[in-house]
Amino acid sequence: DRIHTELRFYDVAHRDAELSKRMPRVLAFDRGDHVAMLEDLGEAADLTSLYAGDALEPGELETLCDFARRLHALPLTDDERAGLANRAMRELNHAHLFAVPLDPGNGLDLDAITPGLADAARELQHDDAFLARVTELGELYLHATGPSLLHGDYYPGGFLRTAPGLCGIDPEFACVGPVELDLGVLVAHLVFAGEGPDVAERVESLYAEKMDGALLRGFAGVELMRRLIGVAQLPLPEEVGVERKREWLAFARGWVVNA
């Protein structure tokens, strides 16, 4: 299911000439063994260096927003929407985004990651307003049938710096849903990279298409939360301590509750 979804994603996305320049081509696919061969993009590095103090190069944020806008604007047939449902991967991602981090019995030793982080997590795990809105956002994500094709994991690890420029990869969580999900995830990771909350306005402006800004921030808040107190931890510098993480969780709560 995952490989078939990725192939469908690439097939649809390559219809746009600019997107086609910014992702690998599918060279071969063995349906029996579920193996795909993708184009080698050459020497490249992903954008996870942003967490360690690297900065986006001039024009890269514009490219990320343009990539998303073009992707989200692609027309889909009913058959393509059905083929991009990606139910199993969406259910897995739903658990990691909306459920596991807020489960007090999840077994995660957060204090082993950052001393004091477990107390910060408990505050959110018992925050009724936050829990209710996260549940609503999770249901929206899990059951969305449109309107747009989403990358599904629109974060720095999903983009490579190559000789021709940024290229998008790894659409294993691709699905159809609200554009605010991709953009919210992007905003959250720009915050982890050192940007302030006003980066949401910059992304909205560069995307330059109608969207629900509160919903974008809601998904951004969920992504901040799950990367801090969930399973999918980021390679953040060791000097990022509990006080900084509490600040980010405060962003998350405010964005989610007001979404």
For residues 230 and 252, the answer to whether their CB atoms sit within 8 Å is no
pLDDT at position 86: 95
pLDDT at position 103: 98
Q: How many CB atoms lie within 10 A of CB 258?
A: 12
pLDDT at position 94: 98
Compute the half-sphere exposure of residue 150: CA atoms within 13 Å on the CB side of its CA: 26
pLDDT at position 4: 87
| Ranges of the chain whose pLDDT falls below 50 | none
pLDDT tens-digit profile of 74-95? Answer: 999 999 999 999 999 999 999 9
Strands (E), 125-180: 148-150, 159-162, 165-168, 175-177
d(CA 220, CA 97): 11
pLDDT at position 34: 80
pLDDT at position 31: 79
pLDDT at position 130: 98
